[in-house]
Amino acid sequence: MASAAEELDAVVVGAGFAGLYMLHRLREKGLSVKVFEAGADIGGTWYWNRYPGARCDVESMDYSYSFDPELEQEWEWTEKYAGQPEILAYIRHVADRHDLRKDVVLRTKVTQASFDEDTSRWIVRTDQGHEVSAQYCVMATGCLSVPKFPEVPGLDRFSGPWYHTGLWPEGPVDFSGQRLGVIGTGSSGIQAIPHLAEQAGELTVFQRTPNFVLSAFNGPIDQERVADIKANYRQAREAARNSIFGIAVDMPTQSALEATEQERQAAYQKGWDRGHLNAIIQAYTDLIFNEESNETAAEFIRAQVRDKVDDPATAAKLEPRGYPFGTKRPCLDTGYYETYNLGHVHLVDLREEEILEITETGVRTTASEYEFDSLVIATGFDAMTGALLDIDITGKADQSLRQKWQDGPGTYLGLAVSGFPNLFTITGPGSPSVLSNMVLSIEQHVDWISDLIDHVAANGRSVVEAVDTAEKEWTDHVRAVGDMTLFPKADSYYIGANVPGKARVFMPYVGGVVGYRQKCDEVAGNGYEGFELH
């Protein structure tokens, strides 16, 4: 069967930030590469998540490629936090600048990838009938790319239109004057709700868990800061690489409990005013380790909610409780809490009443029936493993990745899986991924994989595989580091809790991008220890 297939050096799955940069690096080596992308255009996350208000919550100057220093200087971001159209325009610009589109096949979903042990090649098949044979298969499928829907029945019965934030249509969507329901208050819901409220006649938000929402203080980008960063971009990138989350911030030196109440308030206020995702969590050394410390920051944020929301009963419902601050991903907003001061915006607390079903006319809960013209589904994603397991991947001895990861994903460095030679996962489970500045982590993975491919060729070999003991050791380490923190205390997508039946395992590596990078460099420096070449 392999003989009929188109022969390539590498197949890359996905044409977002990761897939496009991987293509660029592989092509630089003179390898033949094809990228398959399910979307009608490149962009990945930034193609699909085009809901009103979609925006990055890592600052524009950080959330960008570093591999092209001229591009870094030339590109001009307009806002502190870029919106989805601007980021998509940036990705398209990069693709055109490096002539990447010619090797991207759009509107094509990879359905199957199997390792042929006789030829040591991957046979990759798509829903459009492609069959290619490649030495390497790189999964650049994204951590948050398989939408998750509410578990309740009935969405197919709803007579009006409905939209998932992660599958938003390309054309304009008009909710003017409509009765609109929104399910979900994660980053996507929180960004969309103020914009949806501007259009809707009546907006009802169904909240299952209140989130910690920090103010973004977004606005036109500070040109002085831009000039300063552009004059020192190499140092700025280096500082980001040597940070915990891939975003340089001043490192704390003190426990929250060592500070006085007054000092803590001042530190949290300073973090709040910075309008930055990590500024509060990194105000003290122990906020992510110690519940008592964490509670001091959580209470500071709850006080902001009470301050912003006029109706005390609504504020009480919006105050985040029941899990430590930072253990579910906090959000950055523009006007989220204030939206609930508008007369036509209503909050339904799903801790008081449960959704039973979506009906032809709306949403039925244990307490009431709500009628809507349209619905917005902001219930997130089957994170980290969803897109990988969506593809039927089989490795050596016909073992499927679905079987192998039944009890949670095991990887070596989040990059490779034993039994699956020459397959790489960019920002895979077991790497900092969703707990980091994704573009920075993507570049690190792509560069590292690219160097490993050179190493294989330089040794006159054609196959590289993670050793199972190295994989087990790393996976145990990922879990152990996670267990040292408060993260496992929350029902988050980090731990698979948002998808019924998914193994409850902490998936991202929380040891920090700096330590993780050092580990990867050390592995490479020691002749790629933990990998076998054939």
Binding site for ligand N01 (CB under 6 A): 55-57, 144, 150-151, 165, 183-189, 191, 206, 208-209, 329, 350, 355, 378-381, 434, 493, 498
Smallest separation (angstroms) from ligand N01 to the CB of 172: 20
Q: Which is nearer to ligand N01, 25 or 148 (CB)?
A: 148
| φ, ψ for residue 3, nearest 5 deg | -65, -25
Smallest separation (angstroms) from ligand N01 to the CB of 529: 32
Q: Which is nearer to ligand N01, 142 or 511 (CB)?
A: 142
Smallest separation (angstroms) from ligand N01 to the CB of 340: 15
The rounded distance, in Å, linking the Cα atoms of 465 and 424 is 10
Helix (H) or strand (E) holding 137: strand 131-139
Q: Which is nearer to ligand N01, 191 or 304 (CB)?
A: 191
| φ, ψ for residue 299, nearest 5 deg | -70, -35
Smallest separation (angstroms) from ligand N01 to the CB of 50: 11
Q: Which is nearer to ligand N01, 189 or 430 (CB)?
A: 189
Say what angle helices 291-308 and 261-274 make with each other, to 10 degrees: 60
Answer yes or no: are the C-beta atoms of 182 and 53 closer than 8 Å: no
The rounded distance, in Å, linking the Cα atoms of 31 and 367 is 61
Instruction: Work out whether strand 110-116 and strand 121-126 pair parallel, antiparallel, or are unpaired.
Output: antiparallel
Q: What is the DSSP letter of 448?
A: H
Answer yes or no: are the C-beta atoms of 438 and 91 closer than 8 Å: no
Name the residue with tokens 């949806």.
196
Catalogue the E-assigned strands of 231-330.
none
Smallest separation (angstroms) from ligand N01 to the CB of 166: 6
Output the residue with the shortest Cβ distance to ligand N01: 186
Q: Which is nearer to ligand N01, 82 or 389 (CB)?
A: 82
Q: Which is nearer to ligand N01, 105 or 356 (CB)?
A: 356
The rounded distance, in Å, linking the Cα atoms of 532 and 534 is 7
Burial string for 89-114 (b: 16+ CB within 10 Å, else e) reads ebbbebbeebebbebbebebebeebb
Structure tokens at 51: 């809901």
Smallest separation (angstroms) from ligand N01 to the CB of 491: 6
Structure tokens at 404: 């192998």
Which residues are CB-contacts of 78 (< 8 A; sequence separation ≥ 6)?
Answer: 86, 220, 221
Q: Which is nearer to ligand N01, 54 or 249 (CB)?
A: 54
Smallest separation (angstroms) from ligand N01 to the CB of 386: 11
> Closest Cα to residue 94, out of 443, 527, 370?
443
Among positive and negative, which fits the CA dihedral 184, 187, 190, 195?
negative
Q: Which is nearer to ligand N01, 24 or 55 (CB)?
A: 55
Smallest separation (angstroms) from ligand N01 to the CB of 516: 18
Q: Which is nearer to ligand N01, 105 or 152 (CB)?
A: 152
The rounded distance, in Å, linking the Cα atoms of 281 and 327 is 10
Q: Which is nearer to ligand N01, 424 or 493 (CB)?
A: 493
Smallest separation (angstroms) from ligand N01 to the CB of 45: 8
**3-state SS, residue 107:** coil
Smallest separation (angstroms) from ligand N01 to the CB of 65: 16
> Closest Cα to residue 137, out of 145, 125, 127?
125
Name the residue with tokens 């990745």.
401
